[in-house]
Amino acid sequence: MSEFHNIGLIGRTGSDSAVLSLKRLMAFLEREGYAVVLEQGTAGAVSDHSARVAPKDKLGELCDLVIVVGGDGSLLAAARALAKFSVPLLGINRGRLGFLTDITPDEIEQKVGEVLAGKYMAESRFLLDMSVTRDGKPIGKGSALNDVVIHPGEFIRMIEFDLYIDGQFVYTQRSDGLIVSTPTGSTAYALSGGGPIMHPKLDAIVLVPLNPHTLSSRPIVVEGSSEFKIVVSEHNTANPHVTCDGHDQLITGPGDIVRIHKKPHRLTLIHPLDHNFYETCRTKLGWAE
């Protein structure tokens, strides 16, 4: 008997192909006797259904498993909303790259069926919490599965900041910004910025400078329990922006403090049994066979 009974569905509603896959998945789950709960925004894209509808954050309370039909961005958004509920996520790829959403649309019945029958592997991924304070008062916060990035915003201007790790001063840097990335995010923006590929099981965080104004500045890998403090310099001509997974953008000012640390709640990511991280790298990153 399956350990999953109530299945939440989140779809990339702006994509016709994702909606088609979503309908196919719904039909399969209902045929197999599972209770389907549609995320509120997703439900608007699916006509003629009798499924229960709930806001995204409620899926964590109602469901044993949430399936995301879309790209990695869709799964990142679901992870940020649902990590605190410990509900596992499974991804069906209807995006471009698909590092996190690893079931292809033509495998829906076979692979989802195997997962529901207990034939799957579970991976634990950690997220980051970010907060910004001004004169000791909080002005905003966010969370990220991939990365927290400080950058100049809409203007191409160098920014300056001080970096502290676990209370120890590291450097004052002038650059286009800094990427603070989890192992999950190491194959995303951090990789484009020249950072290392990190295996998802690593308990580590990488800091990747963006176009630093010194040739000696290189990515730094530190333990996952590290706490980071970034102090925005008084000398900036632009107000640095902070984003979490490319969302939750906050605009900082001189003297603001950005704090980043591991989130207490972890994400459980479900994969089919034949999932292989290195094969994913070969396929998605174009490595030579």
Out of 72, 102, 245, 256, the active site residue is 72
pLDDT at res. 276: 93
Residue 253 marked in a binding site: no
In this structure, what token pair is assigned to residue 82? 């649902």
pLDDT category of residue 45 using cuts at 50, 70 and 90: confident
274 labelled ligand-binding? no
Report yes or no: 117 and 2 within 8 Å, Cβ to Cβ: yes
CA nearest 256: which of 275, 276, 279, 236? 236
> What are the two backbone dihedrals, phi and then psi, of residue 138, each rounded to the nearest 5 degrees?
-70, 135
Query: Is 191 annotated as belonging to a binding site?
Result: yes
Best CA proximity match to 209, nearest among 239, 181, 246, 184: 181
Please compute, for residue 259, the number of CA atoms within 13 A of its CA located in the half-sphere on the CB side: 14
**51, 38 contact by CB (below 8 A):** yes
- Per-residue confidence band for 246, with pLDDT thresholds at 50, 70 and 90: very high
- Confirm whether residue 243 is marked as ligand binding: no
Given a contact cutoff of 8 angstroms between Cβ atoms, the answer to whether 173 and 163 are in contact is yes
Is 64 part of any known ligand binding site?
no
166 is in an annotated binding site: no
- Which domains does the chain possess? 6-118 (3.40.50.10330), 128-264 (2.60.200.30)
- For position 284, what pLDDT does the model report? 87
Q: What's the pLDDT score for residue 1?
A: 59
Q: Beta partners for 181?
A: 147, 206
User: What mean pLDDT comes out for the span 224-238?
Assistant: 94
Q: State how far the alpha carbon of 46 is from the alpha carbons of 22, 67, 91, in Å.
A: 8, 15, 18
CA–CA separation, 34 vs 83, rounded Å?
Answer: 23
Question: Quick one: pLDDT at residue 289?
Answer: 62
160-197 confidence digits (pLDDT tens): 999 999 999 999 999 999 999 999 999 999 999 999 99
Q: For this structure, is 274 an active site residue?
A: no
At 231, the pLDDT band (50, 70, 90 cuts) reads very high
Question: Residue 112, CB half-sphere, CA atoms under 13 Å: how many?
Answer: 31
Calculate the CA 227 to chain-centre distance. Answer: 19
Q: Is 57 annotated to bind ligand?
A: no
pLDDT for the residue numbered 204: 98
Six token digits for residue 252: 């900082």
Q: How does residue 288 score in pLDDT terms, banded at 50, 70 and 90?
A: confident
Per-residue pLDDT at 161: 97
Please name the helix (run of DSSP H) or strand (run of DSSP E) that holds residue 277, with its range, or none. Answer: helix 277-285
258 pLDDT above the threshold of 80: yes
Q: Does the pLDDT at position 248 exceed 80? A: no
- Whether the per-residue pLDDT at 15 is higher than 90: the answer is no
How crowded is the C-beta side of 256, counted as CA atoms within 13 Å?
21
Q: Among 4-8, 9-13, 118-122, 127-131, which is the least confidently predicted range? A: 9-13
Q: How confident is the model at residue 154, as a pLDDT? A: 79
Residue type for 272, please?
Answer: P
Q: What is the mean pLDDT of residues 114-123?
A: 96
